[in-house]
């Protein structure tokens, strides 16, 4: 079935919706030029998570891990939000409440203008002390791994590493939003990294309408109520246009 036909079918469901959750992964930023993780040329095809994205790797070679995250921060700072990010912002003018639950650490939802963002995996732009957790404001000119002014500990990237818990306050808010929403959109994620990937399945178990937007099939595809196969930067603006045209009737 064509996307336009699927969107038409969704109309009666969308007209009943007040609260939307948009759950995003690396695919939403792909059209901004930020690499995803699991594509053939993605981040995990070039680097090993066990050598970079965990506490042992950082303790063994802080400088190496720091430089890798600084490189990724430079890439995302040079990127700009794409039509997919902006379509999610536009949903805020069409529904009472829109929660963006993201696994991304790139800050592009905030730069696009989304207001209610839950960053499950932290942020490339937040740093903190490894020892005392005091947040650290990184100066633009700083080079090398800084030390904490309070306790002298190493400063670490504010992202969630493999083997670490998600920030519990953010997770609680994400779970509550999933329980309370009327519509759950899963966009640009392979839905393989837990506990984040629990959320679309929680939404399904609670009888929420779950829409997946992704050019490829994922673990969620055969369970989702509606699958909109394609790039987020094309599908999401179409979704917004469909809702707008219905509202103007
Ligand atoms: P993945 O790289 O696993 O998956 C990206 C998904 O985006 C794939 O399903 C692609 O098909 C899809 N995709 C690609 N281009 C797209 C586009 N233009 N529009 C829509 N979808 C597109 O990334 P995540 O699912 O985000 O965790 O990965 C989850 C976590 O694994 C990340 O947060 C990171 C990683 O290890 C940590 O670092 C803790």
User: In this structure, which CATH number among 3.30.1600.10, 3.40.30.10, 3.40.720.10, 3.90.950.20 belongs to the domain 35-78+124-159?
Assistant: 3.30.1600.10
In which band, very low, low, confident or very high, does the pLDDT at 243 lie, cut at 50, 70 and 90?
very high
CATH 3.30.1600.10 positions along the chain are 35-78+124-159
In which band, very low, low, confident or very high, does the pLDDT at 48 lie, cut at 50, 70 and 90?
confident
Q: What is the pTM of this model?
A: 0.97
* pLDDT score, position 23: 99
CATH 3.40.50.1220 positions along the chain are 1-34+81-121+166-249
Nearest CA to ligand 1 atom 33: 103
Tokens of 42: 């993605």
In which band, very low, low, confident or very high, does the pLDDT at 43 lie, cut at 50, 70 and 90?
confident
- Alpha helices by DSSP H, listed for 79-182, are 83-91, 108-112, 168-180
Average pLDDT over residues 200-216: 98
Nearest CA to ligand 1 atom 31: 193
* pLDDT score, position 47: 84
**Whether residue 31 has its Cβ less than 6 Å from ligand 1:** yes
How far is it, in rounded angstroms, from Cα 217 to Cα 200?
15
CA of 220 to the centre of ligand 1 (A): 13
* pLDDT score, position 143: 82
pLDDT tens sequence across 109-164: 999 999 999 999 999 999 999 999 999 999 877 788 999 999 999 999 999 999 99
**Whether residue 38 has its Cβ less than 6 Å from ligand 1:** yes
Q: What positions carry a catalytic annotation?
A: 121
Q: Which fold has domain 1-34+81-121+166-249?
A: Rossmann fold (3.40.50)
CA of 141 to the centre of ligand 1 (A): 31
**Whether residue 236 has its Cβ less than 6 Å from ligand 1:** no
CA of 148 to the centre of ligand 1 (A): 33
How far is it, in rounded angstroms, from Cα 159 to Cα 69?
9
Which residue in this structure is represented by tokens 């393989």?
192
Identify the H or E element spanning 4. Answer: helix 3-14
């Amino acid at each position: 079935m064509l996307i336009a036909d699927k969107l038409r079918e969704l109309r009666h469901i969308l007209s009943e919706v007040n609260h939307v959750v948009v759950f995003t992964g690396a695919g939403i930023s792909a059209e901004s030029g930020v690499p995803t993780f699991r594509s053939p040329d993605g981040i995990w095809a070039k680097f090993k998570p066990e050598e970079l994205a965990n506490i042992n790797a950082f303790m063994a070679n802080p400088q190496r891990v720091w430089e890798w995250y600084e490189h990724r921060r430079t890439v995302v700072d040079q990127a700009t939000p794409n039509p997919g990010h902006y379509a999610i912002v536009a949903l805020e003018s069409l529904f009472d409440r829109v929660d963006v639950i993201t696994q991304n650490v790139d800050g592009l939802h905030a730069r696009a203008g989304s207001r209610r963002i839950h960053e499950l995996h932290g942020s490339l732009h937040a740093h903190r002390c490894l020892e005392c957790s005091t947040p650290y404001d990184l100066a633009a000119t700083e080079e090398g791994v800084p030390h904490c002014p309070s306790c002298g500990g190493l400063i670490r990237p504010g992202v969630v590493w493999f083997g670490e818990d998600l920030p519990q306050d953010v997770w609680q808010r994400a779970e509550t939003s999933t329980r309370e929403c009327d519509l759950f959109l899963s966009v640009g994620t392979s839905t393989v990294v837990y506990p984040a990937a629990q959320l679309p399945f929680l939404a399904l178990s609670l009888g929420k309408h779950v829409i997946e937007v992704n050019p490829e099939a994922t673990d969620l595809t055969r369970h989702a109520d509606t699958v909109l196969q394609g790039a987020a930067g094309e599908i999401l603006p179409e979704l917004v246009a469909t809702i707008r045209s219905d509202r103007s009737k």
